[in-house]
Amino acid sequence: MKVLVATDKAFAPVAVAKIRDVTESEGHELVLLENYKSVSELLAAVADADALIVRSDLVTAEVLDSARKLKIVVRAGAGYDNLDLVACTARKVIAMNTPGQNSNAVAELAFEMMLYQARNGFAGKSGSELRGKSIGIHAYGNVGRYVAEIAKGFGMKVFAYDPFVSEAEIRNNGITPCLSAEELYSSCQYVSLHIPANDKTKKSIGYDLLKLMPENAVLINTARKEVINEEGLLKIFEDRHDLAYLSDVEPDCKALFEEKYKGRYIFTAKKMGAQTEEANINAGVAAARQIADYFKTGNEKFKVNN
Ligand code: 3PG
């Protein structure tokens, strides 16, 4: 079988070598399309692929229509909002993700941004410390749990809100559970977002929640830019000059931040949360193994479409 790795943002070479080892040792062929610049390159590359590994690359109905032999697509990562699941199902393509494999890298990036912001970009001016500050984890999943553990190491007071995780489980992990998003945002100077982007969550974080945050509040978004209501974000930044927004990827309203809110934001140009050798190896190898296993045994664990 031909396994195509199509990544607009390439994996580290060490990860690609390991993905190749796993794939070839199972008797499959590995083909690489890295750092591609246009959809047409992707459309051409998928034409004879039996399996596809992607990162945040968009797997649309158009891509699937070009991939006539495709049987399985694995998103090497957690969020699969880039896969058109309905189109996958309609074309009998199995879609999977690799949950948890890159979570620590994303959690560390949240702290890298928090520390840089807290020290005013190392520009010489006195900053502040994380110890003793409150942090709210919005969604206590794989990344949220790593953020909580690192926050404890910094001596932060850790809160979490997740309607899908029991209060008891959160409490047993030494974290204060909140019963609503409102409670979380009003209790915490830092809030770190870990909700997926779906029809329910898109644009769900906006003015009404952010206005509840205490003085010098910082919102950290290593989830998806789509979960932010950017009009609401801009409105609260206009009202409150003490807020900061740290986001792994630029919001659509980046130009306004650059013009008006200097020193109050950090935006990465490319999504960098999962961009470590370790995360690339973990997620990439997991994807390659899931594909090999699916071809060998039909194992559909981690399937995300119906
Ligand atoms: C994920 O959902 O796994 C992360 O957002 C990482 O995305 P990336 O593979 O595009 O870096």
Distance 264 CA to ligand 1 centre (A): 25
Task: Please give the helix or strand (H or E) that residue 172 lies within, else none.
Answer: helix 167-172
Between CA 130 and CA 295 the distance in angstroms is 48
Between CA 220 and CA 183 the distance in angstroms is 17
pLDDT tens digits, the chain, 306 residues: what are they?
999 999 999 999 999 999 999 999 999 999 999 999 999 999 999 999 999 999 999 999 999 999 999 999 999 999 999 999 999 999 999 999 999 999 999 999 999 999 999 999 999 999 999 999 999 999 999 999 999 999 999 999 999 999 999 999 999 999 999 999 999 999 999 999 999 999 999 999 999 999 999 999 999 999 999 999 999 999 999 999 999 999 999 999 999 999 999 999 999 999 999 999 999 999 999 999 999 999 999 999 999 999
Enumerate residues lining ligand 1, CB below 6 A. 9, 55-56, 77-79, 102, 271, 273-275
CA 170 vs CA 51, 108, 258: distances in Å: 38, 20, 38
The architecture CATH gives domain 2-101+275-297: 3-Layer(aba) Sandwich (3.40)
What are phi and psi for residue 262, nearest 5 degrees? -55, 135
pLDDT of residue 59: 98
Strands 176-177 and 190-193: unpaired
CB atoms within 10 A of CB 258: 12
Domain(s) labelled CATH 3.40.50.720 in the chain stretch across: 2-101+275-297, 103-267
The set of long-range contacts for 209-215, using a CB threshold of 8 Å and a minimum separation of 24, is 209/181, 209/182, 209/185, 210/185, 210/236, 210/243, 211/236, 211/239, 211/240, 212/182, 212/185, 212/186, 213/185, 213/186, 213/188, 213/189, 213/243, 214/186, 214/188, 214/189, 215/189, 215/242
What are phi and psi for residue 188, nearest 5 degrees? -125, 135
Q: Whose CA is nearest to atom 11 of ligand 1?
A: 274
Hunting for tokens 């690339």 — which residue is that? 280
pTM (2 decimals)? 0.97
Q: Contact 234/253 with Cβ under 8 angstroms?
A: yes
Q: What is the CATH number of domain 103-267?
A: 3.40.50.720
Distance 123 CA to ligand 1 centre (A): 30
Pocket test for ligand 1, best of 56, 201, 227, 272 (most atoms within 8 A of CB): 56
Distance 12 CA to ligand 1 centre (A): 14
Distance 16 CA to ligand 1 centre (A): 16
Distance 78 CA to ligand 1 centre (A): 6
Query: What DSSP assignment string belongs to 43-87?
Result: HHHHTT-SEEEESS--B-HHHHHH-TT--EEEESSS--TTB-HHH
Between CA 109 and CA 217 the distance in angstroms is 18
CA-nearest of 84, 93, 77, 81 to 59 is 84
pLDDT of residue 238: 97
Instruction: State which ligand 1 atom lies nearest to the alpha carbon of 98.
Output: 3
CA 69 vs CA 25, 35, 91, 184: distances in Å: 22, 23, 10, 47
Q: Whose CA is nearest to atom 5 of ligand 1?
A: 79
Task: Please give the helix or strand (H or E) that residue 235 lies within, else none.
Answer: helix 230-239
Across 117-139, b (16+ Cβ under 10 Å) vs e yields bbeeeeeeeeeeebeebbbbbbb
